[in-house]
């Protein structure tokens, strides 16, 4: 019998590839969507789309009913509360597995950063649920690079000279899907690091060389100046990007990807390969 996986956050940048890979690997995929019309434009009739919200218990119960697993891809202010709500509902259903995307630097000592604190306590709720789980802790995604290009400028903040092991979303999605079929791959935190370490500015420069060759230089702003710009523009996204980069400069990449690579297959996509694939 075909197993059903509910994907929460399937219309997001990192939820969509997971939903598609699960479908490709033979699972029945159910998509929980607040905006059904948006989901229907992204996914064809092979996907089951249900209207609902993680903070609406009634719709969540209907969405989870009959599911073998639930994959959670949430972000923002509702992340912790949303995960806790999903876990509460799933605990009373026949759910056999929960998978969740956390982060490579999510450790108790880093909970001073708001996003990390939310993910840390979301993880805690999953571990204490009694439901077999996989918590994925990836580093920076290659798909995040376009966010640091606006118009004819590419920008970075602070120093951030240490290399990040950028990972392609397709590799991460493959690992999530494989975890559902691996008997020994549950009740673990999997750290996901790409095959090569690259400083952020170098990665962004390589991205621009392919998609924005007119940009010859990466503009680098100190944090204090970037905060002023964000305040003037009233840009929450820019303010978050500034604080996120500052956090990574202090916390760095964490965790050891050895176990994830051994059980689920190491990410193979290099940045140059990803750029070539993306350009088509």
Contact 102/127 with Cβ under 8 angstroms?
no
**Model pLDDT, residue 241:** 84
User: How far apart, in whole angstroms, are the C-alpha atoms of residue 258 and residue 262?
Assistant: 6
SS3 label, residue 194 = coil
Please list the residues that pair with 129 across neighbouring strands: none
User: How far apart, in whole angstroms, are the C-alpha atoms of residue 255 and residue 90?
Assistant: 28
Q: How confident is the model at residue 183 (pLDDT cuts 50, 70, 90)?
A: confident
**pTM check: above 0.85:** yes
Kindly report the CA angle at 271 between 274 and 144, in degrees rounded to 5? 80
**Model pLDDT, residue 161:** 76
* Extended beta strands in the chain, E state: 4-8, 28-33, 48-51, 69-72, 97-101, 133-138, 149-150, 153-157, 163-164, 188-192, 198-199, 218-221
Query: What does the block give as tokens for 151?
Result: 């118009």
Domains of the chain, with CATH numbers? 4-139+168-192+253-268 (3.40.50.720)
**Model pLDDT, residue 185:** 84
| 199 Cβ neighbours under 8 A, 6+ residues apart | 160, 161, 162, 163, 164
Residue 258 has pLDDT above 80, yes or no: yes
**Percent of the chain at pLDDT above 90?**
79
Phi, psi of 267 (to 5 degrees): -60, 135
Q: What is the mean pLDDT of the chain?
A: 94
Measure CA 30 to chain center. 18
Q: Write out pLDDT tens, residues 245-255.
A: 899 889 999 99
Kindly report the CA angle at 133 between 131 and 138, in degrees rounded to 5? 155
Contact 98/90 with Cβ under 8 angstroms?
yes
**Model pLDDT, residue 200:** 94
Residue 80 has pLDDT above 80, yes or no: yes
């Amino acid at each position: 019998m075909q197993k059903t996986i509910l994907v929460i956050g399937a219309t997001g940048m990192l939820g969509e590839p997971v939903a598609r890979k699960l479908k490709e690997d033979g699972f029945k995929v159910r998509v929980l969507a607040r905006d059904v019309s948006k989901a229907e434009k992204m996914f064809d009739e092979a996907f089951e789309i249900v209207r609902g919200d993680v903070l609406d218990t009634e719709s969540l119960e209907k969405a989870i009913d009959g599911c073998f697993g639930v994959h959670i891809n949430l972000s923002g202010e509702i992340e912790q509360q949303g995960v806790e709500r999903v876990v509460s509902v799933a605990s009373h259903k026949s759910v056999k597995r929960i998978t969740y995307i956390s982060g490579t630097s999510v450790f108790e000592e880093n909970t001073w950063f708001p996003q990390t604190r939310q993910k840390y306590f979301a993880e805690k709720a999953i571990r204490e649920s009694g439901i077999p789980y996989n918590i994925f802790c990836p580093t920076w995604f290659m798909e995040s690079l376009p966010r640091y290009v606006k118009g004819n400028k590419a920008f970075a903040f602070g120093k951030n000279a240490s290399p990040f092991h950028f990972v392609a979303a397709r590799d991460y999605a493959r690992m999530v899907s494989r975890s559902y079929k691996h008997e020994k791959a549950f009740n673990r935190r999997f750290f996901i690091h790409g095959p090569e370490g690259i400083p952020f500015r170098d990665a962004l420069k390589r991205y621009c060389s392919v998609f924005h060759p007119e940009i010859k230089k990466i503009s680098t702003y100190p944090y204090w100046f970037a905060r002023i710009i964000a305040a003037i523009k009233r840009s929450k996204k820019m303010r978050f990007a500034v604080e996120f980069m500052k956090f990574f400069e202090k916390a760095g990449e964490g965790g050891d990807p050895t176990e994830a690579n051994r059980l689920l297959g190491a990410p193979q996509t290099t940045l140059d390969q990803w750029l070539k694939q993306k350009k088509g």
